Amino acid sequence: METVSLLIKNAKVFNTYLKKFISGDVSVKDGRFYYIDREQNTPFHAEVVLDAQGKYMIPGLVDIHMHIESSMMTPEPFGNCVAAYGVTTIVSEPHEMANVKGTRGILEMISAAKNAPIDIFYGIPSSVPSTDERLETTGGIIDCNAMKHLLCEEDVVCVGEIMNYRQIIKENNLEITKFLKYLRQEYPGYVIEGHCPSLLNLELAKFLYLGIDGDHTEHTLEEVKQRIENGMFFEIQDKMLKPKVLEYICENQLYEYCGFVTDDTMADVLYEKGQLNYVVQQAIESGFPLEMAIYCATYTSSRRMHLYDRGTIAPGKLADFVLLDSPSVMKPSYVYKNGVQIFNRKDRQEASISYQFPEDFYQSVRMKPVNLQDFRVMADTDKEEVTVRVIEVHPDRTQTTEKLVTMPVRDHMLDWEKSGCLLAMVLERHGKNGNIGYGFITGSCLKEGTVATTYFHDHHNLFVAGDCPMDMLLAVRRLQELQGGFLTVKDGRILAELKLPVCGILSEKGVRDTALGLKAIRESLEELGYRHDNPIMSLGTLGLPVSPALKLTDKGLVDVKRSAIVPLIVE
Quote the Cα angle for 224-227-232, to 5°: 130
| 378-428 confidence digits (pLDDT tens) | 998 989 999 999 999 999 999 999 999 999 999 999 999 999 999 999 999
Residues 6+ apart with CB under 8 A from 554: 136, 137, 426, 427, 428, 433, 435, 436, 437, 459, 461
* Pairing label, strands 233-236, 214-215: parallel
Is 168 a residue whose pLDDT tops 90? Answer: yes
Which residues lie across from 403 on neighbouring strands?
Answer: 390
The domain ranges of the chain are 59-312, 361-565
| CA 315 distance to own-chain centroid | 33
* 365 closest CA partner among 427, 452, 425: 427
Q: What's the one-letter identity of residue 107?
A: L
Mean pLDDT of 155-170: 93
Provide the whole-model pTM.
Answer: 0.95
Q: For residues 309 and 311, what is the distance between their CA atoms, to the nearest angstrom?
A: 7
Write down the mean pLDDT value for the chain: 96
Model confidence band, residue 1 (pLDDT cutoffs 50, 70, 90): confident
The proportion of the chain whose per-residue pLDDT surpasses 90, expressed as a percent, equals 93
Q: What is the per-residue pLDDT for 65?
A: 98
Q: Distance (Å, rounded) from C-alpha 503 to C-alpha 112? A: 14
Distance CA 474, CA 504 (A): 17
Check whether the bond before 129 is cis (ω within 30° of 0): yes
Closest CA to 16 of 290, 254, 294: 294
Assign 546 a pLDDT band (cuts: 50, 70, 90).
confident
Rounded to a whole number of angstroms, the distance between the first and last alpha carbons of the chain is 87
Q: Is the pLDDT of residue 352 over 80?
A: no
Instruction: Assess contact for 362 and 413: CB atoms under 8 A.
Output: no
Cα–Cα distances (Å) from 471 to 36, 429, 432, 478, in that order, read 64, 19, 26, 11
Residue 349: pLDDT over 90: no
Cα(34)–Cα(314) distance, integer angstroms: 7
Q: What is the pLDDT of residues 31-90, one digit of tens each?
A: 999 999 999 999 999 999 999 999 999 999 999 999 999 999 999 999 999 999 999 999
Contact indicator for 195, 215 with CB cutoff of 8 Å = yes
Homologous superfamily in CATH for domain 59-312: Metal-dependent hydrolases (3.20.20.140)
Half-sphere exposure of 129 (CA within 13 A, CB side): 19
